[in-house]
Amino acid sequence: MGEKGSDMERFAGWVEHLMRERGYDIDSPRGGGRSRLAEDAGVHRAAVTRLLQRRSLPDLETMRALARVLGVGLRDMLIESGKASAEDLPLPGGTPAGRVTPPEAAEMLGIPDSHRRQFVEMTEMILAVSGARPEETRPAPGGVSADRRVWPTSPVRRPPARPARPL
């Protein structure tokens, strides 16, 4: 089977898995899962049947509708179908999901330029002392050759708000 066939097989298997997880009965002969999915998504039943029989991939509008009903992103649909790669459709922000560098954290938090270097150095020192290790090293944006250390993100903990004092 060629690359297109393997994309089709993988994608159809993935969609079947999603359908089962969401309660669409596609295993019993008269389960009605295909018809129900088509109806819920507002697409032709034939498009769902062709996909599950591994005869053809759905068009973009059908993928969009199926993604909505199956609770996945269109990006995931396109990548799983083989129509696009993760590199073709990067996540917003340019960093892997859940990862941020100290300079990116400074930017996201709105640290003023006058304090940014101190923020980055202090953050890197705290991470080093705590034993945290960068998950990966990658080039900085804009082709700068310096490596950027990428650290896992964690929730920001803020102290509880103090009640206002009367004047």
Domain 3-81 fold is 434 Repressor (Amino-terminal Domain) (1.10.260)
Per the CB < 8 A criterion, the answer to whether 148 and 139 are in contact is yes
Least confidently predicted of 42-56, 106-120, 129-143, 146-160: 146-160
Q: Where are the domains of the chain?
A: 3-81, 99-152
What does DSSP assign to residue 30?
A: T
pLDDT attached to residue 141? 42
| AA letter at 59 | D
| Residue 58 CB burial class (10 angstroms; 0-12, 13-18, ≥19) | buried
User: Does 121 have pLDDT greater than 70?
Assistant: yes
CB under 8 Å, gap of 24 or more: what pairs does 99-102 form?
99/135, 99/136, 99/150, 99/151, 99/152, 99/153, 100/150, 100/151, 100/153, 101/148, 101/149, 101/150, 101/151, 102/127, 102/149, 102/151
Indicate if the pLDDT at residue 103 is higher than 60.
yes
Residue 107 pLDDT > 90: no
- Whether this prediction's pTM lies above 0.75 is answered by no
pLDDT tens, residue by residue, 23-65: 999 998 888 999 999 999 999 999 999 999 999 999 999 999 9
**Confidence class of residue 137 from pLDDT cuts 50, 70 and 90?**
very low
pLDDT at 69 over 80: yes
| Over residues 1-21, mean pLDDT | 84
Average pLDDT over residues 156-164: 53
In order, the DSSP letters of 85-131 are: -TTTSPPTTSS-TTEE-HHHHHHHHT--HHHHHHHHHHHHHHHHHTT
